[in-house]
């Protein structure tokens, strides 16, 4: 099982010096990936913790690719209904190619009413929009010439398809992942809670005559209790989770580095 860590692209922690130092330390310690999140229009009454500041995820990951050499670069999750279909596919393909194919893309439907309102998008259409974009993304990485709105065109750059995971809860995220042959990106409270949904994923896949896709799970580990943290990591691995992304909360790069050091201790006890 691979171990990734979150990196805050929000609030004061998203200044370039802090993000760079955090990403470089995560890479130096051998973590497989760093992960950021996606918000686009935070209203003033919901800005606690971020001050309303979020850097654009694909731009940030492309920049982080230039600051690092081999660590994978993930977004969990990119809200597809917030973005136009073709430019989003182009941005994903470009960032993936220029970072040496290190991109990992979690996708989501979105939930914040204020963001949909700011974008002028009907929230009730988010599932339909997401499905349209996922279908198009699959085509873009499968064929050199694709068609959109009746117009065929060359899709290039066209690197290998980045790993794509559908974020969200069971059962809707599971059925969407199976429909498009993608992985699943759950937020897990703990391994025991995830086990129930993973069994459901297996059953839905069997019913569809498919193998389930890979699973990348986000979870917060009790880093101040190394034995407990190690048991949780081992439990996620026994479940067949491909990648565990450890959610971290910190104020500055020094605190981030301290938490990474604690995580290393917990993993290698």
Q: What is the pLDDT of residue 269?
A: 65
**Over residues 182-194, mean pLDDT:** 96
Confidence tier at 268 by pLDDT (50, 70, 90): confident
pLDDT tens digit string along 221-241?
999 899 999 999 999 999 999
Cα 250 to chain centroid, rounded: 19
**Over residues 45-70, mean pLDDT:** 96
Q: What is the mean pLDDT of the chain?
A: 96
Residue-wise DSSP of 17-69: HHHHHHHHHHHHTT-SEEEE---S---GGG-TTTTT-B--HHHHHHHHHHH-S
pTM for the full predicted model:
0.96
Coil, strand or helix at 220: coil
Q: Are 138 and 180 in contact (CB under 8 A)?
A: yes
Question: What is the residue extent of each domain of the chain?
Answer: 2-267
Q: Which CATH class is domain 2-267?
A: alpha beta
pLDDT tens digit string along 1-17?
999 999 999 999 999 99
Question: Which residues are bridge partners to 154 per DSSP?
Answer: 145
pLDDT tens digit string along 146-185?
999 999 999 999 999 999 999 999 999 999 999 999 999 9
User: Rounded to whole angstroms, how far apart are CA atoms 164 and 183?
Assistant: 6
Best CA proximity match to 15, nearest among 46, 60, 58:
60
pLDDT tens digit string along 60-107?
999 999 999 999 999 999 999 999 999 999 999 999 999 999 999 999
Q: What is the pLDDT of residue 267?
A: 86
Residues in the chain: 269
């Amino acid at each position: 099982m691979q171990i990734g860590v979150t990196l805050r692209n929000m609030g004061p922690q998203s200044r370039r010096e802090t993000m760079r130092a955090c990403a470089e330390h995560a890479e130096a310690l051998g973590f497989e990936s760093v992960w950021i999140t996606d918000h686009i229009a935070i209203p003033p009454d919901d800005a606690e913790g971020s001050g309303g500041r979020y850097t654009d995820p694909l731009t940030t990951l492309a920049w982080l690719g230039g600051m690092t050499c081999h660590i994978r670069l993930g977004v969990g999750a990119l809200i597809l209904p917030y973005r136009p279909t073709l430019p989003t596919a182009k941005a994903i393909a470009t960032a993936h190619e220029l970072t040496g194919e290190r991109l990992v893309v979690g996708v989501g439907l979105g939930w914040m009413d204020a963001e949909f309102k700011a974008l002028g998008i009907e929230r009730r259409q988010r599932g339909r929009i997401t499905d349209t974009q996922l279908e198009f993304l699959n085509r873009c990485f499968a064929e050199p010439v694709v068609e959109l709105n009746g117009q065929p065109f060359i899709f290039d750059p066209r690197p290998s398809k980045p790993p794509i995971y559908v974020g969200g809860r069971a059962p809707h995220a599971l059925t969407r992942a199976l429909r498009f042959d993608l992985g699943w990106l759950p937020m897990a409270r703990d391994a025991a809670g995830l086990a129930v949904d993973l069994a459901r994923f297996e059953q839905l896949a069997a019913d569809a005559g498919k193998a389930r896709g890979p699973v990348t799970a986000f979870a917060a580990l009790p880093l101040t209790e190394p034995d407990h943290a190690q048991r949780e990591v081992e439990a996620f691995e026994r479940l067949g989770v491909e990648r565990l992304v450890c959610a971290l909360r910190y104020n500055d790069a020094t605190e981030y580095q301290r938490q990474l050091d604690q995580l290393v201790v917990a993993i290698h006890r």
